[in-house]
A and B are shown apart, each in its own frame.
Chain A
Amino acid sequence: GAVVSQHPSRVICKSGTSVKIECRSLDFQATTMFWYRQFPKQSLMLMATSNEGSKATYEQGVEKDKFLINHASLTLSTLTVTSAHPEDSSFYICSARVTAGGRHEQFFGPGTRLTVL
């Protein structure tokens, strides 16, 4: 199957700093990528849909100025958590969508664990 990578896998930062997380599709091109957030022992929460070459579409309740998304190429989307605070600590997972034979599939990255002190 298709491979999606995320970098970094773990990051610890001080409150007030900004953190950038990269999501890459390694062996395919993805016009659409998704960013999810997962709280401990909870399900995935879709934050935003990232479309290559255009602005991201944010889900209700997600601050677009807080979580900046850039999808500059067909293989890379970035999520920047600006002025991070402890409540932003979470597991962030990206996925890339592939469409084949009329079926959509999402391939997930391994996730990035963010800890804000």
Chain B
Amino acid sequence: GEDVEQSLFLSVREGDSSVINCTYTDSSSTYLYWYKQEPGAGLQLLTYIFSNMDMKQDQRLTVLLNKKDKHLSLRIADTQTGDSAIYFCAESIGNYGQNFVFGPGTRLSVLP
């Protein structure tokens, strides 16, 4: 079945770059997403990438996709304390990409 994996924890110092990695198994994924969850809150879409793209940049966020290795990463430049949260990788699957499969989430801690 479909499976999305992520490392569970990441700590970085304020001002450094953070790289959160994700691997997935379903090669038919149409879109891949990154969501952010702050404590006690729902999920906020950060960015997404179409499966035929290699890279997408949006301000401090850079998404890299290696479709051959089924590897997705999210780079946050100049990480701030407000970036501390759980980051979920998700792939859309199904005949029309209509269903989502989420990874376990990576808890990012930003140290002063």
Are the CB atoms of B98 and A97 closer together than 8 Å?
A: yes
Are the CB atoms of A42 and B104 closer together than 8 Å?
A: yes
Which of B97, B99, B102 meets A43, CB within 8 Å? Answer: B102
Q: Closest residue to A9 on the B side, CB-wise?
A: B40
B:59-112 near A, CB below 8 Å: 88, 92, 96-100, 102-105, 107
**Across the interface, which residues of A come within 8 angstroms of B41, CB to CB?**
110-111
Are the CB atoms of A108 and B102 closer together than 8 Å?
A: no
Instruction: Tell me the bound Cα distance from A111 to B40 in angstroms.
Output: 8
Instruction: Tell me the bound Cα distance from A43 to B35 in angstroms.
Output: 12
**Across the interface, which residues of A come within 8 angstroms of B97, CB to CB?**
103-104
A:81-117 near B, CB below 8 Å: 93, 95, 97, 99, 103-111, 113
**Across the interface, which residues of A come within 8 angstroms of B55, CB to CB?**
none
Query: Separation in Å of the A40 CB from the closest CB of chain B?
Result: 11
Is A1 among interface residues, defined by CB-CB distance under 8 A?
A: yes
Size range of the interface on A?
A: 20 to 34
Are the CB atoms of B40 and A105 closer together than 8 Å?
A: no
Is B10 among interface residues, defined by CB-CB distance under 8 A?
A: no
Are the CB atoms of B102 and A93 closer together than 8 Å?
A: no
Q: Known: A43-B103, A44-B88, A113-B40. Contact between A105 and B45, CB under 8 A?
A: yes
Is B7 among interface residues, defined by CB-CB distance under 8 A?
A: no
Are the CB atoms of A106 and B100 closer together than 8 Å?
A: yes
- Best-buried of B88, B99, B107 by chain A (most CB within 10 Å): B99
Instruction: Tell me the bound Cα distance from A14 to B29 in angstroms.
Output: 43
**Across the interface, which residues of A come within 8 angstroms of B31, CB to CB?**
103-104
Instruction: Tell me the bound Cα distance from A6 to B31 in angstroms.
Output: 26
5 contacts between A and B (CB under 8 A): A32-B98, A43-B88, A46-B100, A49-B99, A113-B40
- Known contacts A43-B102, A44-B43, A103-B48; 13 additional CB pairs below 8 A are A42-B105, A43-B105, A44-B88, A44-B102, A46-B100, A93-B42, A103-B30, A103-B50, A103-B97, A104-B31, A106-B100, A108-B42, A110-B42
Q: Which residues of A contact B (CB under 8 A)?
A: 1, 4, 6, 32, 34, 41-44, 46, 49, 93, 95, 97, 99, 103-111, 113
